[in-house]
Structure 1
Amino acid sequence: MSLHLTSPDPEMRASWSRTLSRLPLLAYRALRWRALRGGWLPEYLRRRRFDRRSFAPGQTIDVMVLTADHYEPAKRFGDAAAVESVRSWCAAYEKMARKHGDADGRPPQHTWFYRYDYPNRDCVQALSESVFRGFGEVEFHLHHDHDTHETMAATLRDGVNWFGRCGAMRTAEERPRQLFGYVAGNSALDNGARDDSLSGCDTEISALRDAGCYADFTFPSLGSPAQPRKCNTHYYATEDGRPKSYHNGVDVEVGRAPSGDLLLFQGPITVDWHMGGMEDGALENSSRPHPRRLAGLLAGNVHVTGRPEWIFVKTHTHAMQNRDSFLSADMDAMYEAMETWWNRPPFRLHYVTAREAYNIVKAAEAGCSGDPNDYRDYLIPPPANRVVSCNLPWLLHSYTPERIHVEVLQEGPARLEFAGRPLRSIAGRVREVEAEFHDGELIGLRIEGEGPFEVDCSEGAGMESARAAYAT
């Protein structure tokens, strides 16, 4: 039977009789899981649910789908086992994702918020290889405790430098910058749980800002005392020196100047009257993916004020611990349902990473309109590991259409690959590479290291003119 017949319409609303019948179950679940903690219900009731009827006939409605994965490989079985689990996870995910595509021809984009409290480079290397193949990006996740502003700042600084040696959180541009998205471990952003064993840093908002964090992607977190009052919106939080500085803030709005210290990018919170529960975008073994969940995700109506036709659907998961549900036929069916319902008029589907979602939000804030696909790289370019891959620790020094400059930081046999360039790869005991291009041709190539080197270029790439530039 086709999905068109088995997947419920995500805009279908529950009848009054069904709503009333679900009230006891909803009340029980809200009390059982303390789901109303944080005081978000008044804000939820104030905001409008998604309603297609509020749009003009023929208006395109763009839906941006983002998965924020609190990616936590287990270290209790040893480093090698952790690496193997990541590689097998990526292989299974890529196999599933290749079957799907959005309006722009891109597969689902995964954002791995990797736990820096377990700095296993080979795990991040495996993720970086998946990034290079086009399946997502790596960002910053951290569990920490009893921190001060100074210790938190040092951890963030060291972490960003460490990730940058795998090409993550380092922009591919002429003068690369270290920028990152963030998810707080245990949802305890800014000591918002008021438990020093889960954070301790009351000034985490400013520490993140100063370290190069462009946005936080922690919330929603139903049942957590750290859940903010604000919901179903993107907003700026201002550091006030006290825990949970983000409890209130200023919504991102078209034509309004940014304010505050850090943008909080939220996913939806909605009441699911069909099922008698609450939808917060969690994709876990206890809240499995399913096509019927699209209704609650869309109903959150998360958008930049003044740009209601750009809807953001952020899901979140611990997909390593919950791989049985995330890498399942259920998730496969959920992607298919998104492409069935959200990739036909009036909808247009876009799978995005955290960075791309942030860029689209900032484009909306600046007054941009039209196709959000045009703004995936609006302010922050792709990370280095999206365009260059290296099996050893490395650092991108410069990346432009005319020039690439890469340094390999560890001795040994290296293999570098380059995406979308006439120079495809270089292998050997490489220390440094500098390549120059003009009109789609390689016109200069400097390689420092211990030769010989194996260089692979596309046909007609101007290799002969560059060959004399080798330095061994």
Structure 2
Amino acid sequence: MTELGIAATAAGVVGAAGGVAGFRAARRRGLDRWLPSYLTTRRPAPVPGVPVDVLIAVCDHYEPKRGNAPPAKARARVQQWVDEYPRLFDRFRDSDGCPPRYSFFYPADEYEPEYLDMLAGLCRQGYGEVEVHLHHDNDTAENLRHTLLDFKQTLSERHGLLSRDRTTGEVVYGFIHGNWALDNSRCDGRWCGVNNELDVLRETGCYADFTLPSAPSETQTRKVNSVYWAVDDPARPKSHDTGPDLGTVPRPPTGLLMIQGPLAVDWSRRKWGIVPKVENACLQESQPPDITRLTTWMNARVNIPSRPNWLFVKLHTHGVKEPNQDVLLGGPMVRFHEALKERSARNPLFRFHYVTAREMANLALAAADRADLSVADARSYKYVPNG
């Protein structure tokens, strides 16, 4: 069956289940963009009887000035993270003995030295790392290159943040695109403007992109639940729409590593009791962290063929929106960590690991290289903390 046929069939199933309302709901959620790939892609299953290592990274589009917040409010938002994160979560440890670790993707367009110094202090205590986020519109490749290099230098030299390539010593960074519009992937061209953005990212030291999934946005790629190489085609936008899986081919000379979070149709949760919910790995007020969601995240099987029992669970959020902040620095997240601990204690074949974005990329590369390393030993396989 052709991809178009699969899409029509899938839409028909949803439509039949929910009638006209169900069909329209499916289209509004952009299921036609990614559902064919979701239905046809078969990722390797974990080997039975062997421990499963669940690698959990929370990648935050961390925007203290969100909503044009005045300085006092933005500062208070960051201060709440600095104060509350250790107080709430230091008592938890993963299977390696690490506390919950967080990845703050800080916007270059919101730079404030004071806020970065505050986050750097929190990260030096072992609770996370800072990476690069960017909102831009109607941009050029030349200006984007300057913006990224300047911000990389500032984070590295002024704040002691980011990481370095273990071999070359180059300062490197992880990236999330603002408004999801990576590589000019919106149909109207807004919130980017650069068709060769993947090349610019790679050439300025980006070790991996963590933007996806972006569903229900139109920027969502056809390829889902994957760690893969994207090769830029400057003649067209959205070059990362597809690409070869990491570990199945040698690294393309101009490939940028893409690490996606889980994206799935969740029939256990249905709108009107009929239309399935979309699980897009988002943590927010309406989608709190919950141990029941973990099953769906694991079943997405975001993994590397040579290490199928390493399951990559990359989650995303906008953590300084007050309703979300209450969830991420409150009871729902505390209960999630408690549930992880309890599940691991009950099941010796279930191991969980709090990882940063950098560590997740290292683990993916180690798995693809078939390195005979534990999760703990592979956390800094290729990229090491700056300083």
Q: TM-score range by the shorter chain?
A: 0.7 to 0.9
* 1:223 maps onto 2:216 in alignment: yes
Residues 33 and 323 of structure 1: CA distance in aligned 2, closer, same or farther (over 3 Å): farther
* 1:360 maps onto 2:363 in alignment: yes
Whichever residue aligns with residue 381 of structure 1, its letter is V
Q: Percent identity?
A: 36
C-alpha distance in 2 between matches for 1:33 and 1:69: 27
C-alpha distance in 2 between matches for 1:125 and 1:289: 28
Whichever residue aligns with residue 187 of structure 1, its letter is W
CA contact (8 A) 2:165 2:382 kept: no
> Could you say what secondary structure the match of 2:95 adopts?
coil
C-alpha distance in 1 between matches for 2:203 and 2:311: 29
Tell me which residue corresponds to 1:287: 287
* 1:212 maps onto 2:205 in alignment: yes
Shift of 1:55: 2.0
* 1:236 maps onto 2:239 in alignment: no
C-alpha distance in 1 between matches for 2:250 and 2:70: 48
Residues 262-318 of structure 1 show CA distances to partners (whole Å, capped at 9, x for unaligned) of 111000011211112111110011212222211211111100123211111111100
* 1:64 maps onto 2:67 in alignment: no
Residues 385-409 of structure 1 show CA distances to partners (whole Å, capped at 9, x for unaligned) of xxxxxxxxxxxxxxxxxxxxxxxxx
CA contact (8 A) 1:145 1:198 kept: yes
C-alpha distance in 2 between matches for 1:142 and 1:203: 16
- Identify which of 334, 338, 362 aligns with 1:336: 338
C-alpha distance in 2 between matches for 1:120 and 1:80: 12
Q: TM-score, normalised by structure 2?
A: 0.87
RMSD of aligned alpha carbons: 2.5
Tell me which residue corresponds to 1:88: 80
- Identify which of 51, 64, 68 aligns with 1:73: 64
* 1:104 maps onto 2:96 in alignment: yes
Number of residue pairs matched by the alignment: 361
* 1:350 maps onto 2:344 in alignment: no
CA contact (8 A) 2:44 2:305 kept: no
> Could you say what secondary structure the match of 2:77 adopts?
helix
Whichever residue aligns with residue 148 of structure 2, its letter is L
Shift of 1:48: 3.8
C-alpha distance in 1 between matches for 2:20 and 2:161: 42
C-alpha distance in 2 between matches for 1:257 and 1:323: 41
> Could you say what secondary structure the match of 2:96 adopts?
coil
Structure with greater Cα Rg: 1
> Could you say what secondary structure the match of 1:251 adopts?
coil
Residues 335 and 147 of structure 1: CA distance in aligned 2, closer, same or farther (over 3 Å): same
C-alpha distance in 1 between matches for 2:24 and 2:35: 11
C-alpha distance in 2 between matches for 1:286 and 1:129: 30
Tell me which residue corresponds to 1:8: none
> Could you say what secondary structure the match of 1:308 adopts?
coil
Shift of 1:79: 2.8
Whichever residue aligns with residue 40 of structure 2, its letter is R
Tell me which residue corresponds to 2:308: 308
Equivalences for residues 40-439 of structure 1 within 5 A? 40-48=34-42, 55-57=47-49, 59-74=50-65, 76-164=68-156, 165-171=158-164, 176-241=169-234, 242-253=236-247, 256-259=249-252, 260-276=254-270, 277-321=277-321, 322-342=324-344, 344-384=347-387
Residues 354-403 of structure 1 show CA distances to partners (whole Å, capped at 9, x for unaligned) of 0000001010111124522110000011133xxxxxxxxxxxxxxxxxxx
Residues 404-444 of structure 1 show CA distances to partners (whole Å, capped at 9, x for unaligned) of xxxxxxxxxxxxxxxxxxxxxxxxxxxxxxxxxxxxxxxxx
Whichever residue aligns with residue 332 of structure 1, its letter is V
Residues 213 and 88 of structure 1: CA distance in aligned 2, closer, same or farther (over 3 Å): same
C-alpha distance in 2 between matches for 1:154 and 1:311: 36
Shift of 1:99: 2.4
Query: More strand per residue: 1 or 2?
Result: 1
Equivalences for residues 5-16 of structure 1 within 5 A? none
> Could you say what secondary structure the match of 1:133 adopts?
helix
> Could you say what secondary structure the match of 1:381 adopts?
strand
State which drifts further: 189-198 or 203-212: 189-198
Whichever residue aligns with residue 326 of structure 2, its letter is D
CA contact (8 A) 2:163 2:384 kept: no
